[in-house]
């Protein structure tokens, strides 16, 4: 059991990263979500099956809390803030990169919840499609098709901003 608690602790940074991305950069709300997730996990450790993946279980808990509690309150606020370190530094060699990351951040923040969740669970957390499907409670085919649409959308968007910038430069 102590191993379990230790493993829980090890996952905290990743849970925080995911929650931060999920809540569009709102660090306070994200850590609240992580806190709720950990408390619920601790109180339900006896329900955790030995042969299942702890990480997937934690993300399932977090998803459920997000859907049932957080989303309702957060979505009423338009939280499309930029993180400070993502502000472009004009004139520097990295300015272009920062601009692109900022655009991407905005684009991801404006995605529908299910699209953002799938993208983050796969791209950021490196979870398998099957795991994502069971976390979100949707068929694996749905995960793959939504992911594909989301990526194409972001790809086009990033392509457009790149071209727009090139035109401006000319």
129 binds another protein (CB under 8 A): yes
Q: Of the candidates 111, 151, 161, 165, which one interacts with another protein according to CB under 8 A?
A: 151
137 binds another protein (CB under 8 A): no
Q: Of the candidates 53, 82, 114, 161, which one interacts with another protein according to CB under 8 A?
A: 53
Q: Which is nearer to another protein, 48 or 64 (CB)?
A: 48
Residues 64-103, mask of contacts with another protein (x by CB under 8 A): ---------------------xx-------------xx--
136 binds another protein (CB under 8 A): no
Other CB atoms within 10 A of residue 115 CB: 18
Angle at Cα 131 formed by Cα 126 and Cα 132, nearest 5°? 75
Q: Which residues contact 19 (CB under 8 A, 6 or more apart)?
A: 30, 31, 33, 34, 37, 62
Task: Look at the block and give the residue holding tokens 């910038």.
Answer: 165
How many angstroms separate the CA atoms of 147 and 170, rounded? 34
Terminal Cα distance for the chain, rounded: 63
Q: Which is nearer to another protein, 51 or 168 (CB)?
A: 51
Q: Supply the Cα-derived Rg of the chain in whole angstroms.
A: 18
Q: Of the candidates 67, 88, 123, 161, which one interacts with another protein according to CB under 8 A?
A: 123
- Nearest approach in angstroms of CB 14 to another protein is 7
Other CB atoms within 10 A of residue 114 CB: 15
154 binds another protein (CB under 8 A): yes
131 binds another protein (CB under 8 A): yes
48 binds another protein (CB under 8 A): no
């Amino acid at each position: 059991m102590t191993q379990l608690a230790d493993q829980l602790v090890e996952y905290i940074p990743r849970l925080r990263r995911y929650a931060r991305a999920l809540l569009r950069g709102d660090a306070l709300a994200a850590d609240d979500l992580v806190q709720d997730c950990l408390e619920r996990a601790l109180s339900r450790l006896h329900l955790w099956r030995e042969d299942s993946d702890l990480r997937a279980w934690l993300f399932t808990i977090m998803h459920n809390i997000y859907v049932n509690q957080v989303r309702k309150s957060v979505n009423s606020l338009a939280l499309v803030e930029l993180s400070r370190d993502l502000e472009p530094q004009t004139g520097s060699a990295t300015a272009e990169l920062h601009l692109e990351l900022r655009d991407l951040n905005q684009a991801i923040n404006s995605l529908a919840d299910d699209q953002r969740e799938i993208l983050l669970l796969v791209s950021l957390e490196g979870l398998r499609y099957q795991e994502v499907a069971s976390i979100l409670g949707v068929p694996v085919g749905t995960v793959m098709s939504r992911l594909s649409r989301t990526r194409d959308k972001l790809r086009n968007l990033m392509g457009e901003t790149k071209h727009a910038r090139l035109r401006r430069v000319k």
